Structure 1
Amino acid sequence: MFTVIEADGTGALEARPAPDGRLLAPLDRSLLGWERKPHGWCRGEACLPAFRAADAETPDGVDVAAFAALVGKVAVIDVGERAVAFADGAGPFGGGLTVEEAPDFTLDGVTLSDLRGRKVAIVFWASWCGCRYDLPAWRERHEALERHGLTVLTVALDRSAEDARPWIEGARGAGGAPPHPAVVDTEGLVAELYNVINVPTVVWVDEKGRIARPQDTQAATDLFRSMNGLDAEKSYRDLRRWVLEDDAGVAADRVAEHLRVPTDEERRARAHARLAVWLLREGRAEAARPHLDAAAALAPHDLAIRRGLMPLTGQDPFGDGYFALRDELENAGIPIHRPLPDEE
């Protein structure tokens, strides 16, 4: 049996390695929720025709990695650790990031689509980022604009909820009640859906569930402006205009132009990272190292992976490891912060 690691948890897969390196699963068992039928593989009303599935089938079983690609997944297999991790891929069955519909999710009892009819500012942050100090300011923005139809939804990209909770609790108002929904993305589900590669990142979702402003590096205070060049007052001014003046947000053509859709390399990096996280939590740090290295090689710019996993590897995300990473990216000409360009 192989352990299956996905964003929504772990499971088991009956499979065996083939001499050529492929991982083969039985043809008569479900795979990734898909069932083999005479006319193809089906999951609910979606079906992969038999002639297309034939590319992944062999007399000895179905090639797990090839099948995953056909149904919109990326698979990373570690035969030695008897584990396989999946991340969303491309194609008609894969997870797609588009302007027309913001990806829905449910996390910590919060469902994005339940906020339909309101404008939503999704604020991605982490305890390993200085942006943790911005949480009270985001609370203030929510309190100022909530009655006008805005909800601030904060998403912590911490791999341990215990790391994020003190900062969430510390940002509560005087009454102590949570002023807005705040969730912790321990499995990287929401970060994957929105292709968030660093924090702080903000995404706007309008009343109809469409992306009104794509991934934008924003700060709610000027605490680190000398380092990141981000103007907190400008971000608040833009937010107020969007909410109070019923502005449509960023023009649809600019949203489409600047929406960062994950590349194949970024998707595979997330699968390697997912496998590494599971191995680290299982106490198998040495086995996790090749997957951490693979993720860094595939997506060197993805600080949500590289810096975000430092606490799990015993590194200080504010220490020498982080500054070495900053130097590496700067020397390679890779920007750490990616604010939305000003409209010309």
Structure 2
Amino acid sequence: MITLLADGREESVEGLVVPHGATILGWERKPHGWCRGDACVPAFRAAAAESEDGVDLVRFAGLLGRQAAVDLDEGVVAIGEPADSDLDTAPDFGPLPGLRGTKVALVFWASWCGCRYDLPAWEALHRELAGYGFSVVSVSLDRDPKDAAEWLADVTHPAVVDDDGRIAELYNVINVPTVVWVDEEGRIARPQDTMTATDTFRSMNGLSSERAVAALRRWVIEGDAGTTTRRLRPPTDDERLARLHARLAAWLFRRDRSAAAERHLATAAGLAPHDLAIRRGLMPLNGVDPFGEEYFKLREELESAGVAIYRPLPDWQEETR
């Protein structure tokens, strides 16, 4: 048996070749091809993944534009999200569909980031601006929900924990704090920015929370998003694949298979060395202090290579990092 990690779920399959007649990733075989709702993969295209024995799961995922990371020795495979060409629309997850008609700030954070101290300020903005049709939705990138729990104890805004990294994958989040603005129609009003709600770590990130929060209020109250960039930054193929190896690493760490987990973590780091959501985010599962020496070594490595740790848009960027 193989464990399949896909679509935010975990299930067991007999192997990478799925018997004919089975549903694959939510798709069903029809006479004219494979269909899911109104979408169909024509039979002539699907033939590339089909054989007398069944349907090759990894090849079928490829037909859907979904990458796969496979570890047959450990009996696990991760299937990623499709490469989304609609970068203007916010991908749905959790509470987001229920907030149509409301402006939303998606606030990505983690307990391993100093940005956890900004949560009370985000909660205050959520309450202050609720009357203008605004909501904060906070997304913790913690791999263990228990690590996020104490920081969420007093919040009233919608909050989720992205313990499998799927939401970070959907929004191409490579570090925290990252904030995405979503308008009333579910469209991107402002893409992945480094945005702070307090100046607690201004000496490290060089960013003014005053300017950022003023811009947020202006958008919520006046409708001025202050930018013409209203599309998510797309991930590269390597970044997408790195997240799948990180998903395997997290799954293996949780089962005390450290050697295999570290192998996938190394692969992820090689594919996307700049992705701190992966490299720092997995440190707690590996018994490494995410505030300790290993993090500062990683930070120095990236800064020496000229890799920007923070990604603000220019209108609230004070220094180039």
TM-score range, shorter chain: over 0.9
User: The residue matched to 1:342 in structure 2 has which SS?
Assistant: helix
Q: Which runs of 5+ in 2 are unaligned?
A: 317-321
- Partners of 2:221 and 2:258 lie apart in 1 by 50
* Corresponding residue to 1:149 among 126, 129, 133: 133
- Partners of 1:250 and 1:241 lie apart in 2 by 8
Give the equivalent residue in structure 2 for 1:5.
5
1:29-68 matches, within 5 Å, as 29-68=22-61
- Partners of 2:86 and 2:246 lie apart in 1 by 20
Give the equivalent residue in structure 1 for 2:284.
311
* Corresponding residue to 2:199 among 214, 222, 225: 222
2:156 is equivalent to residue 179 of structure 1? yes
When normalised by structure 2's length, the TM-score is 0.93
State the percentage of identical aligned residues: 60
Give the equivalent residue in structure 2 for 1:275.
248
Amino acid at match of 2:272: A
- Partners of 2:304 and 2:199 lie apart in 1 by 26
Deviations 1:238-284 (A, max 9, x none): 0111112232x144x4223xx31111111111111111111111121
Q: Structure 1 residues 147 and 331, CA, compared in 2 at 3 Å: closer, same or farther?
A: same
- Partners of 2:271 and 2:226 lie apart in 1 by 31
Deviations 1:95-136 (A, max 9, x none): 45511x211111xxxx21211111111111000000011111
When normalised by structure 1's length, the TM-score is 0.87
- Partners of 1:183 and 1:27 lie apart in 2 by 37
Deviations 1:145-199 (A, max 9, x none): 1112211111111111110111122xx3xxxxx3322221112222111111100
- Partners of 2:91 and 2:236 lie apart in 1 by 17
Give the equivalent residue in structure 2 for 1:102.
90
User: The residue matched to 2:107 in structure 1 has which SS?
Assistant: strand
Give the equivalent residue in structure 2 for 1:79.
72
| Paired residues of 1:192 and 1:270 also in contact (CA < 8 A) | yes
User: The residue matched to 1:88 in structure 2 has which SS?
Assistant: coil
- Partners of 2:37 and 2:126 lie apart in 1 by 39
Amino acid at match of 1:88: E
- Partners of 1:29 and 1:115 lie apart in 2 by 35
Amino acid at match of 1:147: G
* Corresponding residue to 2:165 among 184, 188, 192: 188
State the superposition RMSD in angstroms: 1.8
Give the equivalent residue in structure 1 for 2:319.
none
Give the equivalent residue in structure 1 for 2:272.
299
User: The residue matched to 1:32 in structure 2 has which SS?
Assistant: coil
- Partners of 1:182 and 1:134 lie apart in 2 by 14
Give the equivalent residue in structure 2 for 1:263.
236
Give the equivalent residue in structure 2 for 1:19.
none
Amino acid at match of 1:2: I
Amino acid at match of 2:91: P
Give the equivalent residue in structure 2 for 1:164.
148
User: The residue matched to 1:213 in structure 2 has which SS?
Assistant: strand
Q: Structure 1 residues 334 and 313, CA, compared in 2 at 3 Å: closer, same or farther?
A: same
| Paired residues of 1:228 and 1:337 also in contact (CA < 8 A) | yes
2:109 is equivalent to residue 132 of structure 1? no
Give the equivalent residue in structure 2 for 1:236.
213
1:21-32 matches, within 5 Å, as 23-32=16-25
Amino acid at match of 2:93: F
Q: Which runs of 5+ in 1 are unaligned?
A: 16-22, 173-177
Query: How much has 1:56 moved relative to structure 2?
Result: 2.0
Amino acid at match of 1:338: R
- Partners of 2:49 and 2:301 lie apart in 1 by 39
Query: How much has 1:34 moved relative to structure 2?
Result: 2.0
- Partners of 1:82 and 1:186 lie apart in 2 by 20
| Paired residues of 1:97 and 1:193 also in contact (CA < 8 A) | no
User: The residue matched to 1:12 in structure 2 has which SS?
Assistant: strand
Q: Structure 1 residues 97 and 303, CA, compared in 2 at 3 Å: closer, same or farther?
A: farther
2:178 is equivalent to residue 201 of structure 1? yes
Query: How much has 1:234 moved relative to structure 2?
Result: 0.4
- Partners of 1:250 and 1:7 lie apart in 2 by 34
Query: How much has 1:25 moved relative to structure 2?
Result: 3.0
Query: How much has 1:14 moved relative to structure 2?
Result: 2.0
2:96 is equivalent to residue 112 of structure 1? yes
Q: Which moved more, 1:120-129 or 1:137-146?
A: 137-146
Query: How much has 1:59 moved relative to structure 2?
Result: 3.7
| Paired residues of 2:78 and 2:248 also in contact (CA < 8 A) | yes
| Paired residues of 1:97 and 1:194 also in contact (CA < 8 A) | no
| Paired residues of 2:215 and 2:226 also in contact (CA < 8 A) | no
Q: Which moved more, 1:119-128 or 1:44-53?
A: 44-53
| Paired residues of 1:139 and 1:179 also in contact (CA < 8 A) | yes
- Partners of 1:190 and 1:83 lie apart in 2 by 20
